[in-house]
Chains A and B, each alone.
Chain A
Amino acid sequence: MKEKTKNNKLNRREVLKKLGKYLPSAGLLWIASSKLALPAEENGKKHNYGMGVYIKRCIGCGRCANACKEENNVPRDPFFYRTWIERYAVNMDGEVSVQSPNGGIDGFSPMEATRTLLKSFFVPKLCNHCDNPPCVQVCPVGATFKSPEGVILVDEKYCIGCRYCIQACPYGARYFHPEKKVADKCTFCYHRITKGLRPACVEVCPTNARVFGDLHTLSSPLLRFKRMNDIHVLKPDLNTEPKVYYANMDGVVR
Chain B
Amino acid sequence: MFNPLKIFKTIPEQIIRLLLIFAGVIAALIIARHLFIPASFGKLGHYRADALDEIKSLPVQYAGRDQCAECHEDKIAILNSSYHKGLSCEACHGPGVKHVAAGGDYELLMPVKREFCHKCHAFLEARPTGFPQIDTITHNPNKPCIKCHNPHNPTPPSPPSECGVCHRSIESMKSVSPHNSLQCTTCHAAPREHKLNPRKYLPSKPSAREFCGKCHTKNAVASKEIPRIDMDKHGNTYVCWECHYPHSPQAE
**What are the interface flags for B120-148 relative to A under an 8 Å C-beta threshold, 1 for contact and 0 otherwise?**
10111111100100000000000000000
Q: What per-residue 1/0 map shows which CB atoms of A84-102 lie under 8 Å from chain B? A: 0001110000000000000
Whether A39 contacts B44 by the Cβ 8 Å rule is yes
What residues of chain B have their CB less than 8 Å away from a CB belonging to chain A? 38, 41, 44-48, 51-52, 54-62, 64-65, 84, 86-88, 90-91, 94-95, 118-120, 122-128, 131, 172-173, 175-177, 248, 250
- What are the interface flags for A54-79 relative to B under an 8 Å C-beta threshold, 1 for contact and 0 otherwise? 00111111110001001110000000
A193 CB, min distance to chain B CBs, angstroms? 10
* Cα-based distance from A60 to B133 in the complex (angstroms): 12
**A145 at the binding interface (Cβ < 8 Å):** yes
Once the chains are docked, how many angstroms separate the CA of A191 from the CA of B65? 17
Contacts of A115 in B (CB 8 A): 173, 176-177, 248, 250
Question: A84: shortest Cβ distance to chain B, in Å?
Answer: 15
User: Residues of A with Cβ closer than 8 Å to B?
Assistant: 39, 56-63, 67, 70-72, 87-89, 107-108, 110-111, 113-115, 117, 120-122, 142-148, 153, 155, 157-158, 187, 190-192, 194-195, 197-198, 200, 203-208
The answer to whether B172 and A192 have CB atoms under 8 Å apart is: no
A-B CB pair tally, cutoff 8 Å: 135
Other A-B pairs, 5, CB within 8 Å; known A113-B172, A206-B120, A208-B86 = A70-B62, A71-B60, A142-B48, A145-B45, A192-B60
**A62-B119, A155-B48, A206-B91 in contact; A191/B124 too (CB < 8 A)?**
no
A122's closest neighbor in chain B, by CB?
Answer: B126
Structural contact, A67 and B95, CB atoms closer than 8 A: yes
Closest to A208 in B: B86
Min Cβ gap B114→A in Å is: 13
How many angstroms from the CA of A164 to the CA of B45 in the assembled complex?
20
Q: Please give, as numbers and ranges, the residues of chain B lying within 8 Å of A108 by CB-CB distance.
A: 124, 126
Which of A70, A114, A120, A121 lies in contact with B176, CB distance below 8 A? A114
Q: Shortest beta-carbon distance, A8 to chain B, in Å?
A: 39
Given the interface pairs A191-B57, A203-B88, A208-B86, the reply to whether A155 lies near B62 with Cβ below 8 Å is no
A67 engages B177 (CB within 8 Å): no
27 contacts across the A-B interface (CB closer than 8 A): A58-B128, A60-B126, A61-B119, A63-B91, A67-B62, A70-B61, A89-B125, A108-B124, A110-B122, A115-B176, A115-B177, A122-B127, A143-B47, A144-B47, A148-B52, A153-B51, A155-B47, A155-B48, A155-B51, A190-B55, A191-B55, A191-B56, A194-B56, A200-B62, A203-B64, A204-B88, A206-B84
Q: Is the CB of A187 within 8 A of B55?
A: yes
Bound: A33/B94 CA distance, A: 51
In the bound complex, CA of A31 to CA of B198 (Å): 65
- The answer to whether B125 and A191 have CB atoms under 8 Å apart is no
Per a CB cutoff under 8 Å, which of B56, B84, B95 touches A71?
B95
Q: What is the minimal beta-carbon distance from A195 to any residue of chain B, in angstroms?
A: 7
Nearest-CB residue, chain B, relative to A190 = B55
Residues of A within 8 A of B44 (CB): 39, 148
Q: Indicate whether A207 sits within 8 Å of B86 (C-beta atoms), given known contacts A111-B125, A190-B56.
A: yes
Residues of A within 8 A of B128 (CB): 56-59, 121
Question: Closest CB-CB distance, A213 to chain B, in whole Å?
Answer: 16
User: Per a CB cutoff under 8 Å, which of B54, B65, B173 touches A157?
Assistant: B54
Write the chain B residue with the least CB distance to A153.
B55
Closest Cβ of chain A to B139, distance in Å, is 14
Query: Which listed residue (A70, A117, A157, A204) contacts B51, Cβ 8 A?
Result: A157
Q: Is A117 touching B125 in the complex (CB atoms < 8 A)? A: yes
A70 touches B95 (CB 8 A): yes
- Contact, CB under 8 Å: B56 / A197: no
Which residues of B lie under 8 Å from residue A144 when comparing CB positions?
47
How distant is the Cα of A143 from the Cα of B175 in the complex, in angstroms? 56
Known: A121-B126, A146-B45, A203-B88. A61 touches B120 (CB 8 A): yes
Query: B90's contact among A56, A107, A120, A204, by CB below 8 Å, is which?
Result: A204
A88 to B124, CA, bound (A): 12
CA distance in complex: A203, B173 (Å): 34
Q: How far is the CB of B44 from chain A (nearest CB, A)?
A: 6
- Per CB-CB distance, the 5 closest pairs between chain A and chain B, nearest first, are A145-B47, A155-B51, A120-B126, A191-B58, A204-B91
